[in-house]
Amino acid sequence: MEGGTEALKAKALVLRGAGLNCNDETEHALQLAGANTQQAHINELIRGRIKLADCQIAVIPGGFSYGDDLGAGRILALQIKQALKREFQEFVDEGRILAGICNGFQVLVKTGFLPGNCTATLTDNNSGHFEDRWIHIKAAGRGIFTKGIEKIYLPVNHGEGRFIAEEETLRKLNKNSQIAFRYCDRDGNESPEYPHNPNGSMQNIAAVTNEKGNVFGMMPHPEKIVSKYQHPRWTREELPEEGQGLKIYRNMVEHAEERLV
């Protein structure tokens, strides 16, 4: 990118890999948000054909990486830790945006990039089965990803989405404002009960950041509601053309471009 306003346009990379299947939707959301985008297979990063450092944003999308055979996100997390840990760590240390959605969130937790200053995990849903439904989440704090957002209605599709941690970890997350979104009911009230909290996550946690605020992971799928026509009630309600989930991607892109100025 050279010259003019094009030079200030954020570049976003969407990771591809065996079993990841939300890469196209994620790239589309980033494009709608104004980013220059590319998709890259994990092997292209490992072999150095594509450099993470050339981007301002990197997103690990949802899916079932390596079939979740040894646990959701575990094998992809091991690949990153063994072959790309330094590149990812430098990317994060420089303040660039690293995000993981659903399976990507599971990967970031298992690599240790989330929550970052303490340990947590994502495990089997309390319901004992795969959850595929629309739910509400509300912003729990102010940061890069929640800017201008109060509440979003969006889908979840996961079998291992229950966020659990020791009390000391939960205390740190609350103290450092690392809880980005919580599950809630339609009126915005927090409820630990199913199905408002679809997986049984402690403290209704749906999304968290690292302490610095530039690494983000969430179980629901914002890329699946970037247009009103993706909303299950679009024929029955007056909705804006832009889907609520797109705001999260706009926040990523706007923050990245502010850093380019």
Active-site residues, by number, are 102, 221, 223
| Contact status, residue 171 vs residue 209, Cβ threshold 8 Å | no
- Select from 209, 237, 196, 189 the least CA-distant residue to 116: 209
* CA–centroid distance for 136 within its chain: 16
Read off the amino acid at residue 254.
E
Read off the amino acid at residue 140.
A
Angle (nearest 5°) at CA 8 between 7 and 11: 85
Burial class (CB in 10 A: 0-12, 13-18, 19+), 47: exposed
Q: What is the CA radius of gyration of the chain?
A: 17
| φ, ψ of residue 156 in degrees (nearest 5) | -120, 145
For tokens 């409820």, what's the residue? 191
Cβ–Cβ contacts within 10 Å for residue 148, how many? 11
How far is Cα 72 from Cα 159, in angstroms, rounded to an integer? Answer: 9
34's tokens: 């104004």
Burial class (CB in 10 A: 0-12, 13-18, 19+), 153: middle
Beta carbons within 8 Å of 128's beta carbon, 6+ residues apart: none
| Contact status, residue 14 vs residue 23, Cβ threshold 8 Å | yes
The full length of the chain comes to 261
